[in-house]
Chains A and B, each alone.
Chain A
Amino acid sequence: MLSISNQPEEKGAILTEAVAKPTPAQGQMRRNPPLAGELDAIQAAQNGDDAAFEKLYSMHKRRVYSLCLRMVSNVAEAEDLAQEAFLQLYRKIGTFRGDSAFSTWLHRLTVNVVLMHLRKKGLPQVSLEETLEPSQGEGPRKDIGTRDLHLSGSLDRVGLERAVGELPPGYRLVFVLHDVEGYEHNEIAGMMGCSIGNSKSQLHKARMRLRDLLKNGLEHGQKEGAN
């Protein structure tokens, strides 16, 4: 199991272990309806039909790769991870029993591949609690009267994608799993072996950091527009 040592809970959270087998998600994870021909392809692939496996790859490559890319924010690494996820799928597809949607099962398998990779890469030493400047980590505890730039209505997908890519790895993981992929805190805590409180805290700090990044981007845009 991947775990996050969190003593104290809010500081120095560290990934320390591996991950579990893919299991059905229990929460409100974003689900896709079964794709046309998916069930037939699964059954054929389970019977050793490699063409059917390629079909499954075509159906799910975008989702798997996009998930990997968002989690690691590196194209080459994400492609390696997508490759590993599908190789694991090939080895394990016989164990898929349809207790959950195939896309959910594959999604969880992919998350586990990424988390395992990060552990091997050195996440035992990589803190999920990134070092932050007080102004970034503590948020806008500002004097009354200070006005901020509003984000609402100003955010586009590209800008948010870019900002997510700039998040420190630990923050990005929890943000992607919760806010993008729809995992619940108890699921994230289970996958990463941390407390639910730690997951909530990391998510909050990720959003705060994103807010800073996005506002800085907006401010730059306004200055450039004025020049």
Chain B
Amino acid sequence: MNAEKINSASGDCAEFQDRLPELLGENQDPRNDAHLASCENCKELVSDLMYIAQQAKLLLPLHDPSPEVWNKIEAGIKTAPKS
């Protein structure tokens, strides 16, 4: 009995997770999906994926190239044709 319930629930998870790329890709909020009302694992998964996407927006351009890059560019533009 319990095994049947787990299989059934896992099946729901697989179906939900198959839909998830599309749900997230459309910038929809999958947290309202009915499956999540009864599935903590998928709820947590969605929460994590949305959190990662949110945090990624905070990755600012913080790296500077070495001075050598400009030296090479400067050498390059001396011979580069312009449009």
Interface residues of A (CB under 8 A from B): 30, 48, 50, 53-54, 57, 61-63, 65-67, 69-70, 78-79, 82-83, 86-87, 90-95, 138-144, 146, 148, 150-152, 155, 157, 160-161, 164, 175, 179-180, 182, 185, 196-197, 199-201, 203-204, 207-208, 210-211, 214
Contact of B44 with A by CB under 8 A: yes
B residues less than 8 Å from A210 (CB atoms):
52
A residues less than 8 Å from B62 (CB atoms):
62, 66
Interface residues of B (CB under 8 A from A): 5-6, 9-10, 13-14, 17, 20-22, 24-25, 39-41, 44-45, 47-49, 51-53, 55-66, 68-70, 72-74, 76-77, 80-83
A residues less than 8 Å from B24 (CB atoms):
200, 203-204, 207
B57 touches A69 (CB 8 A): no
A residues less than 8 Å from B76 (CB atoms):
83, 87, 90
Question: Would you call the interface of chain A mostly helix, strand, loop, or mixed?
Answer: helix
B9 touches A144 (CB 8 A): yes
Pick from B20, B44, B65: contact of A65, CB under 8 Å: B65
A residues less than 8 Å from B17 (CB atoms):
138-139, 141
B52 touches A207 (CB 8 A): yes
Q: Bound state CA distance, A50 and B57, in angstroms?
A: 34
B69 touches A160 (CB 8 A): no
Q: Bound state CA distance, A92 and B39, in angstroms?
A: 54
B64 touches A61 (CB 8 A): yes
Q: Bound state CA distance, A67 and B63, in angstroms?
A: 9
B64 touches A91 (CB 8 A): no
Q: Bound state CA distance, A92 and B80, in angstroms?
A: 11
B residues less than 8 Å from A161 (CB atoms):
59
B residues less than 8 Å from A143 (CB atoms):
6, 10
B21 touches A63 (CB 8 A): no
B73 touches A86 (CB 8 A): yes
B49 touches A65 (CB 8 A): no
A residues less than 8 Å from B82 (CB atoms):
48, 90-91, 93-94
B83 touches A82 (CB 8 A): no
B61 touches A63 (CB 8 A): yes
B residues less than 8 Å from A185 (CB atoms):
25
A91-B59 contact, Cβ under 8 Å, with A79-B68, A207-B49: no
Q: Bound state CA distance, A159 and B48, in angstroms?
A: 15
A residues less than 8 Å from B40 (CB atoms):
144
B residues less than 8 Å from A179 (CB atoms):
52-53, 56-57
